[in-house]
């Protein structure tokens, strides 16, 4: 649908500004006449227009902090409702919050586009203000974070504005869409160049860097870990490019130690910005004060698929992430307490119809002192993920190290990381080793069997990083999920594979949008796919 030209927001904005300028000039003229301010100079006018409480110049350090904070939370509510549910970690019996549980509402699938106006805009401003030679470390860190933001965007949407994006201040307001292949090639090159550009003799962001406090070596490991992730994304469409950059990433050095995990820590108190955004969202949407309301405002519980997998494998993470709220057996206060006993944990099937399911109060919910802990961190890149990527690289013949050793280290790291979420997240070394004995790496299995085991472990270990889990599921097909076919759903009972590009692009950037849509040969709907997805036209 075309927007009427007279209602174009850009035109309305310009008219509004013209009106404001005219109004301001008239007001100044009237002020001068009344106050006899015949000597009012241009400098005086500029002083009248200055905000005494705002900085007149951009501070790259402060802006980079903002870019990190906003970057880890971009549309995470949608990620939880769409991919936390469609990847079958969560379930709900309601319809409205059931984007991924019943594939019922598509509007939220457009929301990630907002990254252009917040985190991407912020990091672009940092890059524009760190162009001097002594700013090379700040500029390099900003380049790496920009790649992280763009890779999520293109993984969700496919072809997007990239090379011409973020240039509205240069009067480029209708950017062309780059192909996802070109975007990936450039992102990989950006990571390589940025990692190599760091210089220990120049300043860093220091304490303004919420990930690493300006530590150059850790930023390099983050860059190469991102390169490993993105390189592996191309296994089904550009195995040559995948192998090239996976090899470069491994040689460069990826995150292997707990101390190098990329994350933001939160205090859990004060303003909303000081509380874990993931925990805060889940608390607000569904799990606020379960002791007073055991029905939950949006009808959410853990999904049967997730809980049963943890139970079947006797995974010690079950007691760390899941609880059942039960009546206090002592009959005292509080009347309701949480129970982490593995045997009583139970997930709700996805696709429940609108009435309250039987046994609803007996289904598992997120642990209040780990998953819902507001001073828990947001993990951006972990050694659990990098070790699983190394294991996959090994079975593909791209890494000389042992796939079994990398897999086992990934399991250990994925369990240890729950210590970061609170004291009740600690899993003993004995419990971890017992899990590995009971669930050994399938060293004698076929390639597909080993890839499935690695991918399912990634699905488990990256819990809460729903965008990355969704991407890996599309690439590998694991774990094999059986979607519900809820009446009236938008996908015919199929799990969505792509986010929808918002209507504003059709209205404001129609020519470039349509060119990209026709070039990809896919629709702008939940079942269309992106270039690296095996389901993309021509990849089957």
Number of domains in the chain: 2
DSSP sequence for 320-333: HHEEEEEE-TTS-S
b/e sequence 436-463, b meaning 16+ C-beta within 10 Å: eeeeebeeeeeeeebbbbbbbbbbbbbb
Residue 10 included in any domain: yes
Residue 25 included in any domain: yes
Residue 453 included in any domain: no
Residue 443 included in any domain: no
Peptide bond into 445 cis (omega under 30): no
Q: How far is CA 519 from the centre of its chain?
A: 27
Q: How far is CA 406 from the centre of its chain?
A: 25
Pairing of strands 262-264, 378-381: antiparallel
Instruction: Report helix, strand or coil for 161.
Output: strand
Strand (E) positions, 163-220? 177-178
Total number of residues shown for the chain: 540
Question: What is the biggest distance separating any 2 CA atoms in the chain, rounded to whole angstroms?
Answer: 93
pLDDT recorded at residue 56: 62
Measured CA distances, 207 to 117, 137, 176, 263 (Å): 25, 14, 37, 14
pLDDT in single tens digits along all 540 residues of the chain: 333 333 333 333 333 333 433 344 334 333 343 344 444 444 555 555 555 555 568 999 999 999 999 999 888 888 999 999 999 999 999 998 999 999 987 766 677 899 999 999 999 999 999 999 999 999 999 999 999 999 999 999 999 999 999 998 888 999 999 999 999 999 999 999 999 999 999 999 999 999 999 999 999 999 999 999 999 999 999 999 999 999 999 999 999 999 999 999 999 987 888 999 999 999 999 998 877 777 898 999 999 999 999 999 999 999 999 999 999 888 888 889 999 999 999 999 999 877 889 899 999 999 999 999 999 999 999 999 999 999 999 999 999 999 999 999 999 999 999 999 999 999 999 999 999 999 999 999 999 999 999 999 999 999 999 999 999 999 999 999 999 999 999 999 999 999 999 988 989 999 999 999 999 988 889 999 999 999 999 887
Peptide bond into 479 cis (omega under 30): yes
pLDDT recorded at residue 34: 38
Residue ranges making up the domain that contains 356? 272-366
pLDDT recorded at residue 335: 85
Is residue 178 within 8 A of residue 161, CB to CB? The reply is yes
Residue 29 included in any domain: yes
Residue 234 included in any domain: no
Residue 279 included in any domain: yes
Instruction: Report helix, strand or coil for 338.
Output: strand
pLDDT recorded at residue 88: 98
Residue 107 included in any domain: no
pLDDT recorded at residue 212: 98
Residue 172: CA count within 13 A, CB half-sphere: 12
Final residue in a domain of this structure, among 336, 366, 396: 366
């Amino acid at each position: 649908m075309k927007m009427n030209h007279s209602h174009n927001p850009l035109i309305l904005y310009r008219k509004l500004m013209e009106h404001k300028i005219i109004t301001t000039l008239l007001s100044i003229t009237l002020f001068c006449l009344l106050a006899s301010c015949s000597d009012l100079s241009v400098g005086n006018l500029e002083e009248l227009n200055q905000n005494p409480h705002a900085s007149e110049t951009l501070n790259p350090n402060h802006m980079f902090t903002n870019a990190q904070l906003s970057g880890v939370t971009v549309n995470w509510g949608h990620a939880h409702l769409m991919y936390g549910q469609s990847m079958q970690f969560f379930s709900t019996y309601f319809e409205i919050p059931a984007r991924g549980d019943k594939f019922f509402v598509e509007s939220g699938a457009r929301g990630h586009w907002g990254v252009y106006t917040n985190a991407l805009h912020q990091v672009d401003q940092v890059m524009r203000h760190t162009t001097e030679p002594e700013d090379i470390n700040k500029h390099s860190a900003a380049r790496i974070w920009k790649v992280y933001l763009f890779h999520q965007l293109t993984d969700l949407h496919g072809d997007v504005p990239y090379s011409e994006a973020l240039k509205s201040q240069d009067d480029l307001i209708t950017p062309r869409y780059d192909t996802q292949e070109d975007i990936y090639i450039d992102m990989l090159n950006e990571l390589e160049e940025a990692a190599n550009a760091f210089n220990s003799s120049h300043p860093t962001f220091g304490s303004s860097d919420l990930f690493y406090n300006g530590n150059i070596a850790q930023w390099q490991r983050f860059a190469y870990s991102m390169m490993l992730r993105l390189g592996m994304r191309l296994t089904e469409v550009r195995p040559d490019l995948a192998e090239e950059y996976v090899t470069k990433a491994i040689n460069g050095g990826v995150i292997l130690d707990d101390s190098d995990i990329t994350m933001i820590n939160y205090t859990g108190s004060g303003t909303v910005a000081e509380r874990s955004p993931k925990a805060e969202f889940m608390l607000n949407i569904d799990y606020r004060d379960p002791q007073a309301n055991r029905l939950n405002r949006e009808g959410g519980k853990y999904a049967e698929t997730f809980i049963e997998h943890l139970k079947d494998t006797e995974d010690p993470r079950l007691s760390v992430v899941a609880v059942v709220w039960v009546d206090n057996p002592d009959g005292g206060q509080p009347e309701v307490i949480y129970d982490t006993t593995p045997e009583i944990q139970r997930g709700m099937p996805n696709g429940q119809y609108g009435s309250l399911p039987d046994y609803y109060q007996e289904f598992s919910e997120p642990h209040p002192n780990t998953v819902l802990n507001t001073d828990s961190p947001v993990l951006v890149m972990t050694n659990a993920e990098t070790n699983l990527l190394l294991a996959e690289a090994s079975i593909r013949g791209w890494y000389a190290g042992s796939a079994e050793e990398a897999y086992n280290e990934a399991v250990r790291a994925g369990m240890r990381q729950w210590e970061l979420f609170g004291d009740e997240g600690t899993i003993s070394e004995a419990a971890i080793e017992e899990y590995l004995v009971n669930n050994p790496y399938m060293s004698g299995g076929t390639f597909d069997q080993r890839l499935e085991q690695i991918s399912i472990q990634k699905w488990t270990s990256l819990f809460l990083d729903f965008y990355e889990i969704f991407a890996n599921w599309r690439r590998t097909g694991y774990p094999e999920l059986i979607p519900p076919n809820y009446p009236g759903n938008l996908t015919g009972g199929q799990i969505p594979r792509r986010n929808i590009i918002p209507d504003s692009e059709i209205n404001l950037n129609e020519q470039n949008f349509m060119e990209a849509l026709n070039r990809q040969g896919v629709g702008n709907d939940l079942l269309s796919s992106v270039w690296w997805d095996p389901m993309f036209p021509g990849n089957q």
